[in-house]
Amino acid sequence: MTMPLNQPDFSLAEKVALVTGASRGIGAAIARTYAAAGAKVVLASRKQEALDEVAAQIQAAGGTALAVAAHTGDPAAVAHLVERAVETYGGVDILVNNAATSPHFGPLLTAQESHWDKTLDINVKGYFRLVQACVPAMRARGGGKIINVASIAGLHPQPGMGIYCVSKAAVIMLTQVLAQELAPDGIQVNAIAPGYVQTRFSQAIWDNPTLNDAVLRSIPQRRMGRPEELTGIALYLAAPASDFTTGAVFVIDGGQSVASLLPP
């Protein structure tokens, strides 16, 4: 007798996904993928006009999307964002914390207090605010998925990006702590750690031929990643297929993290 094949479940039908930093780059790519998988997507970032463009693209492709401008550094805006998601779609099943900032570039000791405050407020406390606001809705629906976008900068120091590195290391530990604490609620918490991806966030590097060449030499694949190349792991972490995966950090960097192990 032939046994049926067990296919992993990657459907997000009837799920509600909230994605921050969704007006462009990695956040927008993840939102499009979730919508294509059947999720109702709530898009968040600071600028309404840019969000509306992404929402229109998703809707034109047959998906469902709601655009809500919200600054993750503002607790009231975060609360309003989650309230809109619950009022419109009935709850929240998936949270992607992606919004981030990096106002300081240079030696760490040249940073000002304001650089620390802004970076940690958005990159770490902003993630915490969204989790704190979404977890009650997830518990009400019997569980959920939280995906925190970290960075290889949280695992390996990157030149000139000291505060950002510290903030992304904090995101990784935040992910692990929350994974442990929320497991009894049926909520899985994982992190994605991208490497050098072509987004507006990294434009200062890829617009500079000298910097760009130096970074590309450190990547075994000798190229930048594309936002769409992160959406496969993001879909896995949002779908039932990952129900036994929590507290993990998935590095997507073209091999940059292991480059020192390769022959020159």
Q: Which residues are catalytic?
A: 164
Euclidean distance between CA atoms 227 and 126, whole angstroms: 22
Q: Which residues pair with 197 in a beta bridge?
A: 225
The single-letter DSSP state of residue 121 is: I
Helix ranges (H only) for 90-125 are 113-120
Tokens 């999307």 found at:
65
> If you search the block for the tokens 């309404």, which residue do you land on?
48
Alpha helices in the chain (DSSP H): 25-36, 48-60, 75-89, 113-120, 126-140, 162-182, 203-206, 209-217, 231-238
Q: What is the DSSP letter of 201?
A: G
Surface-to-core class of residue 79, CB atoms within 10 Å of its CB (0-12 exposed, 13-18 middle, 19+ buried): middle
**Alpha-carbon span 151 to 171, nearest angstrom:** 9
- Residue 163 near residue 119, CB atoms below 8 Å: yes
Tell me 124's DSSP state.
I
Q: Using CB atoms within 10 Å of the CB of residue 212, give its burial: 0 to 12 exposed, 13 to 18 middle, 19+ buried.
A: middle
Instruction: Give 219's DSSP letter.
Output: S
